[in-house]
Amino acid sequence: MEVCLKFSGVKPKVILDDNEECKMSSHTSDLVWKIKRTGDHYTCNCYAWVYQKNTPVSVRSCKHLKELFGYQYEDARLLSSAGSKNANANSASASTSNDQADAEKTKKRARSLSVSSDEDDDVKDTSPKKKAKRSPGASAPTSSGPSNITVNVLLAQTWTEEKGCDPTGYWISEKLDGVRAFFNGQGFYSRLGNKFFAPDDFSAQWRSKLPSNATLDGELFTGRNKFQDTVSIVRSGASNRWPEVKYYVFDAPFMGNKPFEERLAFLKKIFGDSDSPTYPNVILVEHVKCTGKDHVLDKLQELQKKGAEGLMLRQPLSRYEPKRSSTLLKVKTFYDAEAKVVAHHKGSGKNAAVMGAIEVEMACGKHFRIGTGFSDAQRRKPPQIGSIVVYKFQELSKSGTPRFPVYVGDAIDKTEARDAEMRVIDSGDGDDDE
């Protein structure tokens, strides 16, 4: 019986038979996620799905399930499953006879899909890690709020010096390299709607100070150049390292129809100024008025020397739009370097018949893959093995390989790889934990 066929009239983009499995692979790493249907639910071997241990499997979800079956379908499935598992099964069985005829006509076999890393993803390092053991005296994780909700947040477009708008009058803030977190009044959730199991006492001091309908937008952050540390803590459920985390709040979505300045004033009233916070673990992100392009470039250089990821520009008087919007702009610089091509790796999904990624060797000898930046023609005829290519990236991982590498082109005038000269990060400025 196709008990997973339809929820609230919504069908999945891809239909799996019972016990059928499919794989989703990344363009930029060796990670492969396995998705399987078992009766009335789906499983994924990614960390986000596996460690929802306090949640019944029938109401777990993750970014890969949403990508495969469709966000609308997953929302409908989770809503139905959360209500009553038995009722869902009976309802689905009753409609099976009608659905099966349509299913035979429209059924598509699940195929391998390629999921590229997005530079704004809330969880950029998806390597599974062991769940941290709680030490004596560590705070217990919160049990309030559902484990998965629908989250729609404001997303930024990119600003460049060459093509960007005149930023005069915009609000400048630091782009934090943390984990995006939406607070719904009960708990913290990722952009994908998965719950971060922060301890109860993390928000106990200030939660009651907010209006009952209040929602917040911000980042869970442990400091500059500590992205991987932040990820390991917020993913680990009962980690005893939550005291290292601070919530850097920068907006109040529930006041979305109010101008940004009014929302900022509300946040300042609750949480205080960035340099004198009311609560030790909640910091209001500092915003300063932009005086022009030179101000942006000077501020970018100043903060990046301290290890910052970049800047954000907020349009004055703008509303909170729960989508990618030109009212919010991100400003970042990339490093560029050259590497030698050592292998081609076959793609999957739409790239199944062509190259999905090239494996390259850095001048220092480290290997990594580049899977984005290629045109369809370049995928059909990729750079030759042994040739030198130019790539750009944001920063190095702890292992010394580039994060989010993008293919730029062939280095036809080069015969050897060249690693990027990384910016020197100022030390001893006392700002590392901002």
Alpha-carbon separation of residue 337 from 107, 124, 227, 355, 378 (angstroms): 46, 22, 23, 22, 19
169 φ/ψ sector (left φ>0, alpha ψ -120 to 50, else beta): left
73 neighbors 12 (Cβ within 8 angstroms): yes
- Reference 287, options 309, 267, 306, 304; nearest CA is 267
Q: Residue 127's closest CA among 53, 239, 233, 47?
A: 47
- Of the listed 6, 11, 63, 175, which one is catalytic? 175
DSSP state letters, 213-276: T--EEEEEE--TT-HHHHHHHHHSSS-TTGGG-EEEEEE-GGGTTS-HHHHHHHHHHHHEETTE
Q: What DSSP character marks residue 80?
A: H
CB atoms closer than 10 angstroms to residue 251: 22
Query: CA angle, corner 209, sides to 205 and 213, nearest 5?
Result: 125
- Tell me, yes or no, if 175 is annotated catalytic: yes
DSSP-derived letter for residue 317 is: T
256 Cβ contact list (under 8 Å, min separation 6):
319, 320, 321, 322
Which of the residues are catalytic? 175
